[in-house]
Amino acid sequence: MKFFVDTADTDEIRDLAETGLVDGVTTNPSLVAKSGRDFVEVVKEICTIVDGPVSAEVTATEAGAMVDEGKKLAQIASNVTIKVPLTWDGLKACKALTQGGTMVNVTLCFSANQALLAAKAGATFISPFIGRLDDIGEDGVQLIRDIRTIYDNYDALSTQILSASIRSDEHVKQVAIAGSDVATVPPDVLRGLSQHPLTDKGLAAFLADWEKTGQTIL
């Protein structure tokens, strides 16, 4: 499974990218607003840090305007992926942009039927928001399972499942088991995947034993 990092903080992205674990980045207007920086400049900088897809979201709600904004954003860098909402106009924009060779991430997906429509419209990625489904008492991870089953039924569907609104390491594990192609995660969740109390305990024991030897490697 690929990892995208869900942030517009370029310092965070740069630090995480040094691990080689970051396959792409997702942004949205809310994340860019938190950065306090110019939207285009932020996207441009992110595209110099990571080689993989960088999602930049349109703000228009009408199909033609979405396409115009998408084309403009796609000029920033070759790895920009245009993010459109899963509305009827968003699906129209998705079809038009993908036919023009632009990667498209259809976002705000909450049902398997929506995911099927996005795939039919040629979406590069579909972004089901599992955390928000959990918030209303539904099983977000089950949606990933359902989409995986549907997509695997049809060879013609090449859309990648990009699990979004991930809140915890358990979410990451479950979407990986469910067969998600990508998980986009906040920086703190990605860092947390490396942590386990037994790892810390074992390392402390190894270091204590090594100190007793009085040796050094360098």
Residues designated as active site = 83
CA distance 51 to 154: 29
Task: Check residue 119 and report its DSSP letter.
Answer: H
Question: Residue 80, SS3?
Answer: strand
Do the bridges between strand 54-57 and strand 2-6 make them parallel or antiparallel, or are there none, so unpaired?
A: unpaired
Pick the closest to residue 70 from 85, 81, 61, 86 (CA basis): 81
* CA-to-CA dists, residue 172 to 4, 11, 178, 189, 217, angstroms: 12, 23, 10, 9, 37
Residues 6+ apart with CB under 8 A from 13: 5, 7, 22, 25, 46, 49, 50
